[in-house]
């Protein structure tokens, strides 16, 4: 476990996964073992969304890839490369076409192994300061490598009076629950405010959209994304790719309290 502290803020990271963010002792992150989801956060890369209806095949400019829901990054283990009292950096490295064991097999998938036709280096950095918690991502690989990126944190809810404000529009928790597994799309948005017992602002750099997902009233996932996967058929998932061009791409999520 890695801990970060700054003034009244506390962060706990388990092998690259954000499992606690507390301000003045108030917990903002969904706790493992609570109803709703087995994780606290994860990343969706190099694709976002399901692939089952496409036979788990994804077209790329180089070759067909075999990917399960949300890609294969989450099947890899983070290595911690640095840590201070207020910052920790983790990294995952993948060599093109290396088979990766699929944790969804055989209960939820017919594919025992996954692979991607491109090398990549994926860095995730946490930083605490007076503005709150920053989570930064850096993607590096060969030029023209395709990718989608989504960050998938789950936030603990303390009340039943929950709203999420986007571009001056209020979204109720009931609306998110009603959409179900497809997740509620919030397009062209770089900032949301989660209003619960306390207020939390989530601001992004580089993503462009959000998805909102939950199936229980005690948590909600507020997910910055580069592409909403249900805007195309699964067989056309490649239409949502972005590409590495001149060097690495960087993305950021800023989480701060408003109370």
Does the pLDDT value for residue 99 go beyond 90?
yes
Does the pLDDT value for residue 256 go beyond 90?
yes
**136-187 residue pLDDT tens:** 999 999 999 999 999 999 999 999 899 999 988 999 999 999 998 899 999 9
Give the strand pairing for 113-114 and 163-166: unpaired
Q: How confident is the model at residue 188 (pLDDT cuts 50, 70, 90)?
A: very high
Instruction: Give the pLDDT confidence score for residue 92 in this predicted structure.
Output: 98
Does the pLDDT value for residue 31 go beyond 80?
yes
Instruction: Give the pLDDT confidence score for residue 160 in this predicted structure.
Output: 87
The contacts of residue 81 (CB under 8 Å, 6+ apart) are 89, 90, 91, 123
**202-245 residue pLDDT tens:** 999 999 999 999 999 999 999 999 999 999 999 899 999 999 99
DSSP state of 71: B
- Distance between CA 92 and CA 73 in Å, rounded? 8
Cis peptide before 106 (omega within 30 of 0): yes
Q: What is the DSSP string of 24-55?
A: TTEE-BPPTTSTT-S-S--EEBS--S--GGGT
Instruction: Give the pLDDT confidence score for residue 168 in this predicted structure.
Output: 81
- Rounded to the nearest 5 percent, the helix, strand and coil shares of the chain are 10, 45, 45
How far, rounded to the nearest angstrom, does the alpha carbon of residue 1 sit from its chain's CA centroid? 20
Radius of gyration (Cα) for the chain, nearest Å? Answer: 18
Q: How confident is the model at residue 64 (pLDDT cuts 50, 70, 90)?
A: very high
Instruction: Return the CATH number of the domain spanning residue range 2-257.
Output: 2.70.98.10
Delimit the domains of the chain by residue range: 2-257
Q: How confident is the model at residue 259 (pLDDT cuts 50, 70, 90)?
A: confident
């Amino acid at each position: 476990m890695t801990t970060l502290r700054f003034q009244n803020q506390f962060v706990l990271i388990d092998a690259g996964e954000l499992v606690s963010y507390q301000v003045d002792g108030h917990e903002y992150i969904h706790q493992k073992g609570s109803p709703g989801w087995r994780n606290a956060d994860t990343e969706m890369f190099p694709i976002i969304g399901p692939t089952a209806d496409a036979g788990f095949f994804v077209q790329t400019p180089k070759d067909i890839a075999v990917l399960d829901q949300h890609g294969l990054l989450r099947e890899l283990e983070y290595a911690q490369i640095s840590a201070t009292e207020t910052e920790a950096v983790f990294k995952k490295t993948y060599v093109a076409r290396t088979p990766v064991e699929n944790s969804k097999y055989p209960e939820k998938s017919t594919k025992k192994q996954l692979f991607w036709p491109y090398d990549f280096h994926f860095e995730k950095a946490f930083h605490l300061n007076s503005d709150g918690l920053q989570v930064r991502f850096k993607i590096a690989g060969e030029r023209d490598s395709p990718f989608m990126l989504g960050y998938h944190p789950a936030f603990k809810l303390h009340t039943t009076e929950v709203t999420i404000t986007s571009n001056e529009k209020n979204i109720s928790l009931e609306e998110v629950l009603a959409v179900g597994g497809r997740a509620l799309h919030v397009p062209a948005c770089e900032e949301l405010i989660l209003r619960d017992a306390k207020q939390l602002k989530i601001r992004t750099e580089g993503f462009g959209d959000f998805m909102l997902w939950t199936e229980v009233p005690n948590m909600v996932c507020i997910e910055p994304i580069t592409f909403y996967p249900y805007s195309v058929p699964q067989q056309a998932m490649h239409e949502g790719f972005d590409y590495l061009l001149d060097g690495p791409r960087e993305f950021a999520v800023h989480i701060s309290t408003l109370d």
